[in-house]
Chains A and B, each alone.
Chain A
Amino acid sequence: MEQKGWRDLPLGGMILQAGNSIEYQTGGWRAFRPIYGEAACIHCMQCWLFCPDSCILVDQESGKMTGFDLDFCKGCGICAIQCPVNQKIIKKAEQEIKQDDPRLCIRIVEEGKFEE
């Protein structure tokens, strides 16, 4: 994106266009990525409710969770922490479950170190 010089910018950092945060794709900040394990999901919408960046994609017709909007997801991992399916799997497991365990409904992997 071309950055304007001081003569062409609104004064004092003012933003004159409403709703332009959509143009700033915060997904570039991400160090961790959520991966959706569709098979385990019960579509309870807890992740949708808690996501601070409204990045949970939901199919309008079926009302089912379909994945993440990775243009804006910052990888905070709140979805994985509050996911009730994740909690159930962790409680039932006999040994420690890591956050990138493929059994989880929402697993968190290091950005750039995963296979789709």
Chain B
Amino acid sequence: MSTFSALDGNSAVANAMRQINPDVVAAYPITPQTSTVQTFADFVADGLVDTEFVCVESEHSAMSACVGASSAGARVMTATAANGMALMWEIMYIAASNRNPVVMSLVNRALSGPINIHCDHSDSMGARDSGWIQLYSENGQEAYDNIIQAIRIAEHPDVLLPVMVCQDGFITSHGMERVELYDDADVKAFVGTYEPQWPLLDLENPKTYGPLDFYDYYYEHKRQQVQGMEKAFPVVQEVTAEFNTKFGRDYGLFETYKLQDAEVAIVVLNSTAGTAKVAVDKLRDEGLKVGLLKPRLFRPFPARELVDALKHVKAIAVMDRSISFGIMDNGGPLFSEFAAAFYVYGPRIPMADYIYGLGGRDILTQEIESVFRDALKIAETGQVERTVTFLGVRE
């Protein structure tokens, strides 16, 4: 039977890890992820899980231990944030190319410098070409739900890619909320047992992982990775549908809120989508037709489906919690993805980018309302005055 508890996002994820009971967890503490692994370490010490918990000396070692354990045939999880992930960088690419289905809880935090421990998406967005699947979560409940599904997605034989589940540092990682924890047995049954196809510990069939791979084969192995990403679309949909049926949820590749008859839409990730829903309701009360789209699966990017969901609106405001320095007009990665998707698959809809919330800068409903009002003006005139706006920055 499920239970309802007051938990912050990190504890919700730690409880998902307890229920998944992975063979190996290797992690290094970093704010704001620390309490995830700290709570999980309690579960290990209390004998609630069988996990081999590896206390490493750095995140580079954490991801290396994950790659080693996963290659050995273990179900492996880790958690990190910001600079911790930056230190994992080299090995994250190796996990993806080795096809190690490692699952990571990433608590989004601004990358240094200047040093900052609060939320933005510069960490996960920087890793968007690393070959990891990325799921984004609005709150602790979604982070908990996504972590459980991530195991099935990562380990699916057609996919075999690492998955990171992102949630907003402090905002949801440390924000207490009502979280439904499903029955341990139900989660256990849902994630099933990992059946590795090529475990190093199968001593009867010795094999080599990660050998030197030159111009004669490297390219083919990258092509295989593309196939894994491509297959992630149907697999995510399959796993999500099964999860929805079993646990009574309504997840998809993305979530829409009052979008069907909307004239303008905001696209935004993670916790700000929650704030934006309040802004939508307020403006709807004024009779303004505004709506929201919150991507859940960002890697791989479901371009056709997203375009299809948004193609009826007259203006789109994309909100980016990170900057892709030097990209077109110094906007954000989310904007650039949507602009590209509409150029290739969609009608030409005026689109503008709003950078916000860097380094944990608060984003208020009034600011989101102002973005909607901008978008309504763009819809009316068909003209985008500024492609990129730095929302809330002091001039």
Contact pick for B206, options A6, A9, A10, A18, CB 8 Å: A18
Residues of A within 8 A of B207 (CB): 14-18
Q: Is B194 an interface residue (CB 8 A)?
A: no
Residues of A within 8 A of B209 (CB): 12, 14
Q: Which of B92-146 contact A (CB under 8 A)?
A: 97-99
Q: Is the CB of A16 within 8 A of B213?
A: no
Residues of B within 8 A of A17 (CB): 207
Contact pick for B217, options A13, A16, A18, CB 8 Å: A13
| Total contacts A-B at CB 8 Å | 51
Q: Which of B199-253 contact A (CB under 8 A)?
A: 205-211, 213, 216-218, 220-221, 223-225, 227
Given the known inter-chain contacts A5-B220, A6-B220, please indicate yes or no for A15 contacting B208, CB distance below 8 A: yes
Contact pick for A6, options B198, B208, B224, CB 8 Å: B224
Residues of A within 8 A of B224 (CB): 6, 9, 11-12
Q: How far is the CA of A15 from the CA of B227 in the complex (A)?
A: 19
Report A18-38 CB contacts with B as 1/0, cut-off 8 Å: 100000000000000000000
The residue in chain A whose Cβ has the minimal distance to the Cβ of B208 is A15
Residues of A within 8 A of B218 (CB): 13
Q: Which of B171-205 contact A (CB under 8 A)?
A: 198, 205
Q: How far is the CA of A17 from the CA of B209 in the complex (A)?
A: 11
Most buried by B among A5, A6, A18: A6
Q: How far is the CB of A53 from chain B (nearest CB, A)?
A: 15
Report A55-96 CB contacts with B as 1/0, cut-off 8 Å: 000000000000000000000000000000000000000000
Q: Is the CB of A12 within 8 A of B223?
A: no
The count of residues in chain B whose C-beta lies closer than 8 Å to any C-beta of chain A is: 22
Q: Is the CB of A12 within 8 A of B206?
A: no
Q: Is the CB of A13 within 8 A of B205?
A: no
Q: Is B160 an interface residue (CB 8 A)?
A: yes
Secondary structure of the A contact surface, majority rule: loop
Q: Is the CB of A13 within 8 A of B221?
A: yes
Q: How far is the CA of A23 from the CA of B99 in the complex (A)?
A: 26
Q: How far is the CB of B232 from chain A (nearest CB, A)?
A: 15
Q: How far is the CA of A5 from the CA of B225 in the complex (A)?
A: 14
Q: Is the CB of A3 within 8 A of B160?
A: no
Residues of B within 8 A of A15 (CB): 207-208, 211
Residues of A within 8 A of B210 (CB): 12-13
Report B126-170 CB contacts with A as 1/0, cut-off 8 Å: 000000000000000000000000000000000010000000000
Q: Is the CB of A13 within 8 A of B213?
A: yes
Q: How far is the CA of A5 from the CA of B217 in the complex (A)?
A: 9
Q: Is the CB of B216 within 8 A of A14?
A: no
The residue in chain A whose Cβ has the minimal distance to the Cβ of B200 is A14
The residue in chain B whose Cβ has the minimal distance to the Cβ of A9 is B220
The residue in chain A whose Cβ has the minimal distance to the Cβ of B223 is A6
Given the known inter-chain contacts A11-B99, A11-B160, A12-B97, please indicate yes or no for A6 contacting B221, CB distance below 8 A: yes
Q: How far is the CB of B355 from chain A (nearest CB, A)?
A: 37
Q: Is the CB of A9 within 8 A of B221?
A: yes
Q: How far is the CA of A5 from the CA of B223 in the complex (A)?
A: 10
Given the known inter-chain contacts A11-B224, A12-B98, A12-B99, please indicate yes or no for A3 contacting B217, CB distance below 8 A: yes
Q: How far is the CA of A3 from the CA of B218 in the complex (A)?
A: 12
Residues of B within 8 A of A6 (CB): 220-221, 223-224, 227
Residues of A within 8 A of B220 (CB): 4-6, 9
Contact pick for B205, options A3, A5, A12, A16, CB 8 Å: A16
Residues of B within 8 A of A (CB): 97-99, 160, 198, 205-211, 213, 216-218, 220-221, 223-225, 227
Q: List 12 A-B contacts (CB under 8 A).
A: A5-B220, A6-B221, A6-B224, A9-B217, A12-B98, A13-B98, A13-B213, A14-B98, A14-B207, A14-B209, A15-B208, A16-B207
Residues of A within 8 A of B (CB): 3-6, 9-18
- Enumerate the 3 nearest inter-chain pairs by beta-carbon distance, A residue then B residue, closest first: A18-B206, A6-B220, A15-B208
Given contacts A6-B220, A14-B198, A18-B208, 7 further A-B contacts (CB under 8 A): A9-B217, A9-B224, A13-B213, A13-B218, A14-B209, A16-B205, A17-B207
